Structure 1
Amino acid sequence: MTTIDIAAPALHVRPAVPTTRLRLTVRGRRVIAVLASLPAVIALALAILSGGSAIASHDAGAPAGTFATVTVVPGDTLWSIAGDIAPDADPRDVVDQIVTLNALPTGDVIPGQSLSIPVEYSAGR
């Protein structure tokens, strides 16, 4: 007769392997920094190169001298000027066009200030 010995299977235990940390040299850190910042540099370069297209276009634009000018007198406001030059138009639109055309930072005007008037309203005043 044969006997079978039932024994627990042998467990394979791996020897302890020392864990090493990833060590980056100065050169490695520089390479990672360059690779990480590369998309931002490319985006900035594209923005700088394509940003000037609106300023330097080949459009003819408005010839000099086509805008009439209005000199602000004491008591004038942009609203009153808009009402004088375009009585049939919405004053809000006219004021917005005057502010945009003259690149005014605020809606305040000073007596003696010269304002350019949009072409479509230049015959009104």
Structure 2
Amino acid sequence: MTAISYDSWVSTPARTVAPRTRLRLTRRGRVVIAVLVALPLVLALISMALNGGGATATSGASTVTTVTVESGQSLWQVASMIAPGSSTADVVSDLIAINNLTSASVHPGQQLIVPDRYVD
């Protein structure tokens, strides 16, 4: 049998562990990271502002129907002429609202916008 001897001056190499380093960002690096994170948010906000949120109110060709008040006509008479089958009080209320009238008085030659639900 053979004996194996180790001399004291021969040693096995110790395992070296690499020191853990922290990630250190320079000022420029922090600015780059901040810009990269904020860029998609800024682009989304700009696109929504330019697009108006994506809501559209038009559904095709739009026409506005008006009626001209004749001499001696009241708003009540105009309302009953526009929508004979509807409640005249409701039509008068709608005419006041859509035309931004402060009262129910109208004068000859005045043009009133007719709400779409009363147009045939």
TM-score normalised per structure 1: 0.48
TM (norm. structure 2) is 0.49
Larger radius of gyration: 2
